[in-house]
Structure formats: structure tokens, C-alpha cells
Structure 1
Amino acid sequence: MYAKGQTVIGYMEQLAPKHLAEEWDNIGLQLGSLQKEITGVLVALDVNDNIVDEAIAQGCNLIIAHHAIIFRPLKGIQTETPMGKLYEKLIKNDIAVYISHTNLDVAEGGMNDWMAEALGIENGAPIKDIHTEQLSKLVVFVPKDHHQKVLDAILNAGAGWIGNYSHCSFNIEGYGTFIPREGSEPYIGEAGKMERAEEVRIETIVPLSIRNKVVQAMLKAHPYEEVAYDLYSMDLKGRSLGLGRVGKLKEPTTLGEFIETVKTGLKVDHVRVVGDLNRPIRKAAVMGGSGAKYYNSAIFKGADVLVTGDVDYHTAQDAYLAGISLIDPGHNAEKIMKEKVAGWIQGKLAEHKYGTAVYASQIDTEPFKFL
């Protein structure tokens, strides 16, 4: 059984929720339809003619890519132009294209966490905060004999995180009163009679992004026909998510030694470097894509070096004067996402016993040649 397009993208958006994307970004479905069975998914960094040929050869009718094929509004599509030919080829072969860009960069367990892990950066925090989670407090009243079942459902759905602590809740025993009216089917009591039931009041924290999921899990586990619960908006903010990661290295090193770590971890043969190769490196920052303009934020967070692509001459000069080293492995270093995203989606499909195949693109889309 093949998964429908919306199902596949549902898994992708569990990894990289769309609301995490920056306002200027163009993400989501850019071409084709998700209202069909997906025989195969090709995960790519970019979409070009060779990538489309690869999708056709693998029998894939969905490409999930990091970089958009449509970034600005189109005024027309001329099929004699290179991009027009690309769109035509995708449409004729019924291949949909879905983009996950800055939302994948920002997401926990996404692009920048993968890059930080590859470089040995521990407990990485964002270089630039983009999104702070809004929190609600969930309060629900549960009969005592169903307390643990409902509590487990709520917490396992993702509620109850406070910093590095999970499954946080507060539980108070008491008595609830109610009269089941005509036509009701009460779990406890009889229609028309006042009932006094032993109940537990459960309180916990719920991020806005998963509030509906948590409430649905609670309602499914709760035995009552009509569930008494409240959701309170809170001024207290949750986790901050953002671009890049900065943290201490597993072991102190030098800039020269760290360059080799970057080349190995990000699978690149060459890098550009700003700084003294003998400089001690204890804390490092990384940002996928073009992140050189955030070097001051990296300095503020205590980084000795920033690893990012597309460093321009004047920014390199400014960073050098400011006292931070730079390593530029190229924008294409984001190719780390291909295997990671493919593995995530394949795992979700296998868990639900779908036969849709998932492939990480083997095509190198690096446009530069180093001679």
C-alpha cells in the first residue's frame, strides 16, 4: 500500500513544521499535486534537470527539496527557457515538488542540529532566535480510576516539557459533582441524580504547536462523555528556536585541526578559512546556508569560530577585525539533509507499513569546481 502525498508531507512537517519558516521564505508544495498515491520520494538539496531524471529513473513522483524552484511570483512560464523546461518536465512526468527550507533550518533535530552534531558541537543553542513557543496550561478533571491512563496520554503526546525536564505535571485529588441529564450516557452515576465522584485535577504545560494533538489524545483516553477541561493562555514563554547552533566542542582543538573535522563531518574536500590556524577553539558555531552576517551574534554567544557558507570578502574582513575565525565549506554543505530527511520519512512510512520507497539523491548539485 502506497502512502498518499498528504500523509508523506504530514511526516515531513512533523520534522519541520511550516510555522517555523521565516516570513520571506517560500516553502511547501510548489508544483504538482499531493492528492495521489506516492510510489517513491526523492530527497534532494536542489532541483535541477539531473535531479528530475534521477526521480524518473527511481520511479519517484514526489521530490522533497531544501531549495525552492519557485522563490518569487511567476509572471509566466515559457517552456523554451531553462526553468520553463524544468517545470514542463516535472508536470509531464507527474512529479510534485515540496520545499522545506528555513523551517528545516530552525527545527529541533533539523539541518543545524545535524551540522552541529557532525562537527562535535554539544548542546547547541540557536545563534539567532527566530521563534519562541507560546505556552498554554491544560487543566483536566479525571475520575481516579482513569487518572494514570489520561495522564500518560497527555504527556506522551508531548505536553509537560519545562526546559530539559519532560513529563512535568501537578495532580490534586478532590471531588467533582454533576447531574447527568436526560439522554446522557454517564460513565459514573444515573440520569437525574446528583453524583459526587472522586477525581484528580491534572495540570500541565502545552506548547501551542501541539495543543490540538494533546487535547485529542486526552479526549480519546478520557472515559467521560463530556470532558471538563480548561486551556489558559500564559505570558510565560517556551523554548526559543532559531537559526544556527553554537556550543562547546567535545574536545578543545585548534583552528587548523577543526578544519579537518569540518571537512570530514560535512563531506567537503575544500574550505575557505579566515583566521590563525593555531588559534585555540573551544566553542564553535555553525549555520547552514549563508550565515556569515550573523558573525556578531556568534561572537556574543562566545564562539571562537563560525562555520557557514557564502562568505563574502568584506564580511570576512570585518569578522577578522572583530576577532572571530570563519570556515566556509560552501552552501552545498547542506547536502547533509538528504540522508537525514530520507531516513526520517522512511522510518515513519515503515512504522505505518506503507510501501512507498524513499531515496536520498545521489546527484552532486555543487555548482563550483575547485581547480
Structure 2
Amino acid sequence: MKLADVIAVLESAYPPKTAEKWDAVGLVCGDPADEVTRVLVCVDPTSAIVQEAVEAGAQLVLAHHPLLLKGVNGVPADDPKGALVHKLIRNGAALYCAHTNADSAQPGVSDALAKAIGLTVTGPLEEAADAPGIGRVGELAEAEPLRAFVQRVADALPATVQGVRAAGDPERLVKRVAVCGGAGDSFLGTVRRLGVDAYVTADLRHHPASEHVESGGPALVDVAHWASEWPWCEQAAGILRSAFGGRVDVLVSTRRTDPWTVGATSPSAGGLA
């Protein structure tokens, strides 16, 4: 298959026109006329991922996060991001990014997160004019305490230094849940209006989370950004496998690209209540 054929499938599943205006999606480097026999799917196009792609003999890295989100004037090899572009090109590998267009697709990033947790999706978290919408709302088969739900989320996602934390009454029953892969604190007002029992997302900040809980909003479940989006990798891989029927080998990277590498907990609260 040609790279152009793979791109056509990806852009059918994740239309570039649905990406946010500030986003940078699509082909970063690579010749659409080149042959592709192996693809590596990942969340972050880091140096470790590029090395993995080279070692695996992949001709395409499909990443969720853009490599060049902000405008650049060049990609010199002595620049960290430029070095990745040069390494990809030297090894005959292309880089394609599907970011907010994968967030708003159906199925998309939040569908993959909802499925991993065990939710039956009932609709989007927020409607969109030209796309299925951002985030998802779904239901568990049976209500369970927040304490158990947090463990469910932790069991469903890859382990990170941060782990999974929640804000709310540990015994609060959870059945109807909103999810948003990636940073989702901009939707705190939305989930409050929707009346869900819990909201699963990443990158929640102290003050917005505290104010949300104090105002009586749904329980918050905060996971690592990378972990919340990693289930999408298998979804995207499945789309390519289905489209090419074994003619393209599609691999999902299990390399943890979450930036945090060391964590610690205090042995006691130091006398604080």
C-alpha cells in the first residue's frame, strides 16, 4: 500500500476539517507515494517512539499529539524536534498526526476511553456543529461506589506514576459518567449541568477542581493525560487493520510516554487533618 492510501483511510475516520483551528494535524513528513507495510501507532511522537519505529521497520508513525503544534521557521537536526524529523526521513518513515480531529470523531478518543472503562455510550459530552462532538457520556451496567469506580478506571488504563485520583465522597454511587480524553477541565460546567455522577478526564487543576466539588458537582476522576488517550491507539490500529485486511502490519506502542518518571507519597499527613 502507498502512504497516500493509508492517509485516505485515516482522513475518512478522522476528517482534518473537524480539527480545531489552532491545531496542527496531518502529514508532518513523508512521501505519499512511498510504500507502507508497517505502521506504529502511539500517543506522543517522542525520541523513544521514533527509535521504536526504526527498530520495528515501520514506514509510518501515527501519533495522536502533534510534533510541531506551534509554528516553526525550520527543522535543523540540532533541534530536538528537528532531529526527530531528520531521523524519520533518514530511515524512510513518515509521521502523521490525528489530534483534535480524532477527539471529535465517532468513534474517537473519548469513545475508546469509555469502552476501556466499561461504559455504554449514550451521547457526546458537548455537541458540535460539524462533528459528533467532544467527549462522551455513558452508563455502567450497575451503579457502584466511587471508591470501586476509581479502581475500575485504574485497572482499565496503563499504569503511570500519577495513578488515578478522585475528588468526592468515596461512597457516592456512580452509574452515569462523562469522559473526556486529554485535558478536560474546560468542561466542568458542562458536566455539572448534565447531572452525571462522575467525570473522568486528565490534567485537572487544584482551584477549578476544588470549586467544582464545593459547588456540589459530580465526582471527579483525574488520570494521567497519556493514559487517558492511550486506548485510542488500539482503536486507530483497528481501523487500519480492517481497511487493509492484513496487507499492512499495524503495531501499537506500549512504551509509556507519560513524562513523569518518579513519584513518592508521604508516610503520614504530618499531623494535618
TM-score between the two structures when normalised by the length of structure 1: 0.67
How far did residue 77 of structure 1 move?
2.5
Number of residue equivalences:
259
Partner in structure 2 of residue 366 of structure 1: 258
1:235-254 equivalences in 2 (<5 Å): 241-254=132-145
Q: Alignment partner for residue 188 of structure 2, among 273, 280, 295?
A: 295
Partner in structure 2 of residue 258 of structure 1: 149
Distance 1:131 1:266 in 2: 31
CA contact (8 A) 1:286 1:308 kept: yes
1:255-294 equivalences in 2 (<5 Å): 255-268=146-159, 270-294=163-187
**Percent of aligned pairs sharing the same letter:** 34
Q: Which runs of 5+ in 1 are unaligned?
A: 133-239
| SS state at 1:29 partner | strand
Q: Which has the larger radius of gyration?
A: 1
How far did residue 60 of structure 1 move?
0.8
Q: Deviations over 1:90-147 (max 9, x none)?
A: 1211211111111111111221111112223223311122234xxxxxxxxxxxxxxx
Counterpart AA for 2:25? I
Q: Alignment partner for residue 357 of structure 1, among 229, 249, 255?
A: 249
Counterpart AA for 1:88? H
Partner in structure 1 of residue 242 of structure 2: 347
Q: Does 1:317 align with 2:210?
A: yes
Counterpart AA for 1:253? E
Distance 1:126 1:23 in 2: 20
| SS state at 2:138 partner | strand
| SS state at 2:133 partner | strand
Distance 1:42 1:81 in 2: 23
Q: Deviations over 1:207-235 (max 9, x none)?
A: xxxxxxxxxxxxxxxxxxxxxxxxxxxxx
How far did residue 81 of structure 1 move?
2.4
Counterpart AA for 2:168? G
How far did residue 345 of structure 1 move?
0.4
Counterpart AA for 1:358? V
| SS state at 1:124 partner | strand
| SS state at 2:86 partner | helix
Distance 2:21 2:188 in 1: 22
| SS state at 2:132 partner | strand
TM-score between the two structures when normalised by the length of structure 2: 0.89
| SS state at 1:97 partner | strand
| SS state at 2:74 partner | coil
1:216-231 equivalences in 2 (<5 Å): none
| SS state at 1:38 partner | coil
Q: Which runs of 5+ in 2 are unaligned?
A: 265-273
Counterpart AA for 1:257? A
1:161-240 equivalences in 2 (<5 Å): none
Counterpart AA for 1:337? W
Partner in structure 1 of residue 225 of structure 2: 331
Partner in structure 2 of residue 155 of structure 1: none
Q: Alignment partner for residue 63 of structure 1, among 61, 64, 68?
A: 61
Larger displacement relative to structure 2 (264-273 or 24-33)? 264-273
Q: Does 1:129 align with 2:22?
A: no
CA contact (8 A) 2:241 2:249 kept: yes
How far did residue 59 of structure 1 move?
1.1
| SS state at 2:147 partner | helix
Distance 1:4 1:37 in 2: 4
Counterpart AA for 1:339? E
CA contact (8 A) 2:116 2:231 kept: no
For the aligned residue pairs, the C-alpha RMSD in angstroms reads 1.6
Partner in structure 2 of residue 163 of structure 1: none
| SS state at 1:60 partner | coil
How far did residue 268 of structure 1 move?
3.2
Distance 1:298 1:268 in 2: 26
Identify, as 1 or 2, the structure richer in strand.
1
The structure 1 segments of at least 4 consecutive aligned residues displaced by more than 6 Å after TM superposition are none
CA contact (8 A) 2:150 2:165 kept: no
Distance 2:201 2:173 in 1: 19
Q: Deviations over 1:24-63 (max 9, x none)?
A: 2111111222221112111111111111111111111111
Q: Deviations over 1:74-98 (max 9, x none)?
A: 1223322222221221121121111
Counterpart AA for 2:109? M
Partner in structure 2 of residue 91 of structure 1: 89
